[in-house]
Amino acid sequence: MKPRFFRALPTLLSLLLLGLTLSCSEGEAPKDEFRIGFVAAISETAVRHNPDAARLAMEQVDNAGGLKVAGRRLFVRLLPRDNQDRLEDTLVAVRELISRDRVTAIVGPYVSRQAIPAAVLAQNAGVLLISPTSTNPETTRGKSLIFRACFVDTAQGRALARFARNDLGASRAAVLYDAADDYCRGVAEYFRDAFVGLGGQVPAFEPYLTGEKNFRERLARIKAAGCQVLLLPNFQPTLREQIRLAGEMGAARTLLGSDSWHQPDVLALAEAQDAYFCTGFAPDRSTPETREFVRAYRERYGKDPILSDAMTYDSMQLLFQAARNAGGTQPQMLAAGLAAIEDHQGVTGTIRFHGSGDPERSVLIMRVQGKQAVFHKEIPPHE
C-alpha cells in the first residue's frame, strides 16, 4: 500500500467512528432476525466476490423455518454492500451496516488491504466481523471481535513442509521466492523453518525482487544443490515462467506451490503436471459437507463454486453455530460462541478456534493432473 494511504487512514477511521457514535439512537433491529452484513467487491469483475454462497446459506436456514437459538427461531437477513474494491467505500459500507442497518455481524471484506481497516472500525463499534479470505495476521491481531475463516500464511507454509518431509520423503528442499512480497516471503520462511524442524535441509533459499524476470541462474544453483522438492510460493505472471523454466531445467524432482497456484493458466502448464500445492477448498473432496454444498450450489446457480464461495459459506455456517452455542446473536455472544467451536466440519475442512480469531483448520493438498487440480490429501489442524 502507498504511504499516503496510511497517513489518511486514522483521520478517515475517526470520522467514521464519530458517525457511528452520532447515529447510535437509530432504531433497533427486529428481534426475530439475525442481521448479517456482507461487504465485498460485488460488481468489480477483476476481484469480484459475490454473495451467492452467503445467500444460499441464508435461504437454507430460512426455508427450514429459521435458526434455532435458545428455544426461538430467528430468520436470517443478509444485507450485501458493494465496496467497489475501494477502501473508502469499504469503510462507508461497514459504517452503514452498523449504524443504519443494525447488523450484529459482518462477513467480509475479502482482501487484507480492506479487511484490516474494516476490522478496526468494526472492533471499535462493537460489531463482530469475520473475513472469509484475509490471511494477513494484522486483520485479527489484538481484536476480540474479529475472526477469519481461512488459514493464515503460517499454516500453509508448515503444512507444505510436513507434506514434503513426511509424504514425499524429501530430505532436501529448495525455495525460490519474491522477497519484496510479504505473502511470498512469509510462506517461504515458514516452510523453511518447519522443514528444518522436521529434520530436513534447505540448502537453496533463493530470494528475488518483484519485477525480476531472469531466474535461470538461481534455478541452476537450486539444481546443483540436489533438492528433491522446490517450493514456488509466488504470483502471476512470474510464477508461470518459474514453473516452465524449473521443469525445463529439471531443477527438482517435485514442484510445490502455495494457494496462489489455484488458477487455470497455472494448472494448464505441462511443467506443472504432478506438482502439488495447498489450498482451502477442493470441490472433489469426498465428505458429506463438501458434496452437499457443491450439489446445492450447482442446483441454485448453475455453476461450480470456487474457493471464495466455499469460504463464504463456511463463514456463514460458523456464525450460525456461534449463535447456537452462545444462545444469542449479539456481537459479544457471537464471539464467545465462535471461541467455543471445536472441530466444526465445514465444506473447506475442519475448523476450530482456540483463544483468538485465527482458526486452527485443515489445509488441503492438491495434485495437478490433466490440467486440473485434484484433491490429494487433507492435513487436519491437529497434525
209 to 2, 29, 184, 185, 326: CA distances (angstroms): 18, 50, 11, 11, 48
pLDDT reported for residue 9: 54
13 to 52, 117, 168, 251: CA distances (angstroms): 29, 8, 48, 49
pLDDT reported for residue 149: 96
Domain 3-150+287-360 has CATH 3.30.565.10: no
Sequence spans of domains, the chain: 3-150+287-360, 154-279
Task: Give me the phi and psi of 375, to 5 degrees please.
Answer: -60, 130
Contacts of 31 (CB under 8 A, 6+ apart): none
- The strand pairing partners of 372, in sequence order, are 369
pLDDT reported for residue 6: 43
pLDDT reported for residue 375: 93
- One-letter amino acid at 160 equals L
- Please give the Cα distance from 248 to 373 (Å, whole number): 21
pLDDT reported for residue 263: 83
pLDDT reported for residue 220: 98
Residue 80 parent element (H or E): strand 72-82
Q: Which residue, 130, 133, 125, 159, is CA-closest to 147?
A: 130
Q: Which CATH class is domain 154-279?
A: alpha beta
Place of cell 430467528: 74
The string of pLDDT tens digits covering residues 261-298 is: 988 889 999 999 999 999 999 998 889 999 999 999 99
Same CATH topology for 3-150+287-360 and 154-279? yes
- Please give the Cα distance from 161 to 148 (Å, whole number): 23
pTM strictly above 0.85: no
DSSP 151: P
Contacts 24+ apart (CB under 8 A), 201-204: 201/171, 201/172, 201/173, 202/172, 202/173, 202/174, 202/175, 203/172, 203/174, 203/227, 204/174, 204/175
- The strand pairing partners of 131, in sequence order, are 148
Which pLDDT tens digits describe the chain residue by residue (383 residues)? 333 444 455 545 554 554 554 344 344 556 799 999 999 999 866 567 899 999 999 999 999 999 999 999 999 999 999 999 899 999 999 999 999 999 999 999 998 889 999 999 999 999 999 999 988 888 999 999 999 999 888 888 999 999 999 999 999 999 999 998 878 898 999 999 999 999 999 999 999 998 898 999 999 999 999 999 999 999 888 999 999 999 999 999 999 999 889 888 899 999 999 999 999 999 988 899 999 999 999 999 999 998 899 999 999 999 999 999 999 999 999 999 999 998 899 999 889 998 899 998 889 999 999 999 999 998 887 66
pLDDT reported for residue 5: 42
First to last CA, the chain: 35
- Please give the Cα distance from 106 to 89 (Å, whole number): 15
pLDDT reported for residue 7: 46
- Please give the Cα distance from 127 to 64 (Å, whole number): 27
3-state class (DSSP) for residue 161: helix
- Number of neighbouring beta carbons within 10 Å of residue 128: 29
Sign of CA dihedral 178, 184, 190, 191: negative
- Please give the Cα distance from 133 to 280 (Å, whole number): 9
pLDDT reported for residue 111: 83
Contacts of 188 (CB under 8 A, 6+ apart): 157, 175, 177, 205, 231, 233
- The strand pairing partners of 146, in sequence order, are 129
Place of cell 444469542: 328
CB 67 within 8 A of CB 61: yes
